[in-house]
Structure 1
Amino acid sequence: MEDLPAHIMVDILSKLPVKTIIHCKCVCKKWLDLVSDSYFANLHLSRSPTSLMVHHNSENEMTGYHKPGILKWVEIKNELHHHMLHHDPLMSLDLNLAPIFQESQILLVGSVNGLLCLWQFGPESDNTYICNPITREYMILPRQQYYRQGYAIIVYCFGVSSRTHEYKVIRIFQGDIPPDSTSTSRPSFLEAEVNTLGTGQWRSLGHVPYWLVGFSGPFLNGHAHWIVIDKNSPEKLCAFDFDKETFELFPSPPVEIIQESGIHFSSLGVLNGCLCQSDTFDSQFTIWVMKEYGVKKSWRKEVVIKQSISPDLDWLMWEPVYLIEGLNDGTILMVYYEDKLLAYCPKSRTIEDTEVFDRYFSAMAYRPSFLRLQNFELERVHLF
């Protein structure tokens, strides 16, 4: 291969499995330089298949609190009539071993082009990190402006501008809610700030006009999306435009009410490139799909899972269910609360526990990449 032109070598290397590419970096300096180049990273990303990133927590037996946890990359291998989830322990990133995360918990905020956004919180910490688990790089963003002690809800999103291709972290502080207040007590402090990676600072976006639910808003088509709590709002969804940096109401699916149901959880997700909303009742689970982005009339009720189809999963309708990813064969992956990774097959109308992970984990769609954090000039980059 030494006699091949550089662009041919890059093309060949970019088609190899991620683990093989990592090994190729150790073969010689020429291959290391090729793989480390931004052109290679972008080419590989364009061919990178969707997989899963699982953040697996564990409890500290002494304190009862969760540890920082482990990031586990799960490949989705599509066969002719089925799929397989494969996790290589050697590709895991153990955050418990990182000194910077000690005595704190970590939440997985979002994933864009192979980069992960993590939120670290604890008695003495409130920090935001960007990392690439494939290259083992990470950087810490500056301290947020709106950090306050006391009862508050923090809402995040991590995405990239469609026009400028700048990566941004959005953080919304919904504060001054008395701990014993009802769910109808609107926060008196709704403020947002944004960090454009590479600038080394947070900028205030001012007041947020909507009260949002959901820790992390799914990113799609240059927008973050959340559910709006306000009862009088004409639409029940809100979108943040990463180009204009504005919050606007977004077309929501029809409101479904089941009179005899005492439970109703809603969450947003992205399946096969479409915005989706899941509604969990104590008798059924529903998935709405927006077929044409931004068009209200394009919402379709695609899936209705009745409790009777899975009698062995009688616990399914008692906690929130979060959509993760749609596979080539139509299977839908979702997380039940923080306990189980479930797979729903629309062809057989069955749902099963994959038994890949159990208890205290979150998951999201992930595309592995070799994008270097060194490209963000004003941020100091470290290695795990």
Structure 2
Amino acid sequence: MEILSRLPIKTLFDCRRVCKTWRNLLSDPHFAELHVARSPISLLLKTFHMRPESRMLHLFDLQGANTGHLDDRLKLKAEVNIPNFRFALLNSCNGLLCLCEPDYSDNPICVCNPILGEYITLPKVKVGMRCCGAGFGFSHETNQYKVIRVLARMDAASDNKDYEAEIYTLGGGAWRSIGNALFSMWCRSSFNTLVNGALHWLYGGCDNPDNIDYIPSFHFGSEEFGAIPAPAEKLMGYLHLGVLGGCLSICDGTNSDHIDIWIMKNYGVKESWSKDFVIDNLIFERHNLDFYEPIMILNSGEILILFNHDAVVLYSHETKGFDYLDIFGVKSMFEAIAHIPSFVSLRDVAKGENLKV
């Protein structure tokens, strides 16, 4: 297991076919724990368009990203198991993906491991209720995977503050209420903001007209809502929350001539926010409408950025320049997130409930 857990994901697929002994080793939950701790971060893409290929997930190995080409790719086909054709990515945790209908509504939420082709579908919301936010995470205290969702009544006013929070523990079989949510949970699809066992989001969404002074959070261990301080500097306008280098980050794209990237070095400490990157030689395609979403910092120190949902670029802090990456096989607009491929099986963590393969 020690040796196999250090191999690339493509090699492990071959190893599963060597013999029954190796296949059993690679199916062991202990191997999954070893492997997910050592598996390098990959880039996961999903296209937006509505044709059948929009159900295809593209997983790119980033080891050779500095060559300017991403051609070491796994094509992961989401077949009939996903109940709704228009699924979108929510977030990723330990190799598992949380999927949903783009506009939430009363549609179900799915959790899958695209590497193993395993899916489970969670029960829909109650009649008369609508889901206005959801997220996925892991509780280190109980060693359980959980989904949080925030509900509101269908007939409630848009400014209604009375939201109900529900938790679904994989393997538990049902949603359970944890009372009123302290914050609404407006989260667009494709956000990865899991840090320190908690999920984070911007109050009011990305395009927030007001200055933010705190960032709402939900801790999967304590199952409690909370908040952490925002940077002392006034931030307002177009902001994107993410994770860079294992730390919470904020990308401020308010100004049309530069973007600022803030990093919270010590979790929960307001004074630890640091403006680590100021990128002022931007790519101009749509000018002030251009969209930048930092995905991760590579070992080389370059920042991998989703640009306008149709390109992935590398920004070098040394050269102060951008390089486009060739994304082979992806020919339309797409979502992009950091994802760690793993062999964590829903047969184990969800005890096989409603499992489809």
Aligned to 1:290: 264
CA contact (8 A) 2:211 2:235 kept: no
Instruction: State the secondary structure of the residue aligned to 1:126.
Output: coil
- The partner residue of 1:36 within 23, 27, 39 is 27
Distance 1:129 1:271, change over 3 A: same
Aligned to 1:251: 229
Give the RMSD, CA atoms, in angstroms. 2.9
Distance 1:338 1:45, change over 3 A: same
CA positional deviation for 1:59: 3.4
CA positional deviation for 1:232: 8.7
- The partner residue of 1:349 within 308, 320, 335 is 320
Superposed CA offset, 1:197-252 (max 9, x none): 11011111222222444324611110000112398998331111111111112111
- The partner residue of 2:201 within 207, 226, 230 is 226
Q: Which amino acid aligns with 1:59?
A: M
Q: Which amino acid aligns with 1:86?
A: L
* Pair 1:56 & 2:47 matched: yes
Distance 1:285 1:177, change over 3 A: farther
CA contact (8 A) 1:267 1:279 kept: yes
Superposed CA offset, 1:25-52 (max 9, x none): 1121111111111111111122111111
Aligned to 1:5: none
**Percent same amino acid among aligned pairs?**
32
Distance 1:86 1:19, change over 3 A: same
- The partner residue of 1:23 within 5, 10, 14 is 14
| TM-score between both structures, scaled by the size of structure 1 | 0.81
- The partner residue of 1:72 within 58, 61, 77 is 58
Aligned to 2:85: 104
CA contact (8 A) 1:68 1:101 kept: no
Distance 1:14 1:358, change over 3 A: same
Question: For structure 2, which runs of at least 5 residues remain unmatched after alignment?
Answer: none
Superposed CA offset, 1:161-216 (max 9, x none): 121121111112356699xx9xxx63344222111111011111222222444324
* Pair 1:161 & 2:139 matched: yes
* Pair 1:324 & 2:295 matched: yes
Larger Rg: 1
* Pair 1:143 & 2:124 matched: yes
- The partner residue of 2:345 within 350, 366, 372 is 372
Distance 1:36 1:42, change over 3 A: same
Q: Which amino acid aligns with 1:38?
A: P
Aligned to 2:77: 94
CA distance in 1, matches of 2:211, 2:50: 40
CA contact (8 A) 2:58 2:75 kept: yes
* Pair 1:14 & 2:14 matched: no
CA distance in 2, matches of 1:124, 1:299: 36
CA contact (8 A) 1:67 1:104 kept: no
- The partner residue of 1:126 within 88, 107, 117 is 107
CA distance in 1, matches of 2:134, 2:313: 25
Distance 1:256 1:247, change over 3 A: same
Correspondences of 1:167-316 after superposition (within 5 Å): 167-173=145-151, 186-215=159-188, 216=191, 218-229=193-204, 235-256=213-234, 264-281=237-254, 282-306=256-280, 309-310=281-282, 313-315=284-286
CA positional deviation for 1:292: 0.9
CA distance in 1, matches of 2:308, 2:267: 27
CA distance in 1, matches of 2:262, 2:163: 29
Instruction: State the secondary structure of the residue aligned to 1:204.
Output: strand
CA distance in 2, matches of 1:22, 1:217: 27
Distance 1:104 1:189, change over 3 A: farther
Q: Which amino acid aligns with 1:159?
A: G
CA positional deviation for 1:83: 5.4
CA positional deviation for 1:123: 11
4+ residue stretches of structure 1 with deviation over 6 A? 122-125, 230-234
Superposed CA offset, 1:75-117 (max 9, x none): 11158xx35553445x21233xx23447631110111111111
Aligned to 2:38: 47
CA positional deviation for 1:322: 2.0
CA contact (8 A) 2:111 2:121 kept: yes
Q: Which amino acid aligns with 2:200?
A: H
CA distance in 1, matches of 2:261, 2:70: 26
CA contact (8 A) 1:76 1:84 kept: no
CA distance in 2, matches of 1:237, 1:177: 28
Aligned to 1:63: none
Q: How many residues end up aligned between the 2 structures? A: 348
CA contact (8 A) 1:105 1:122 kept: no
CA positional deviation for 1:353: 3.0
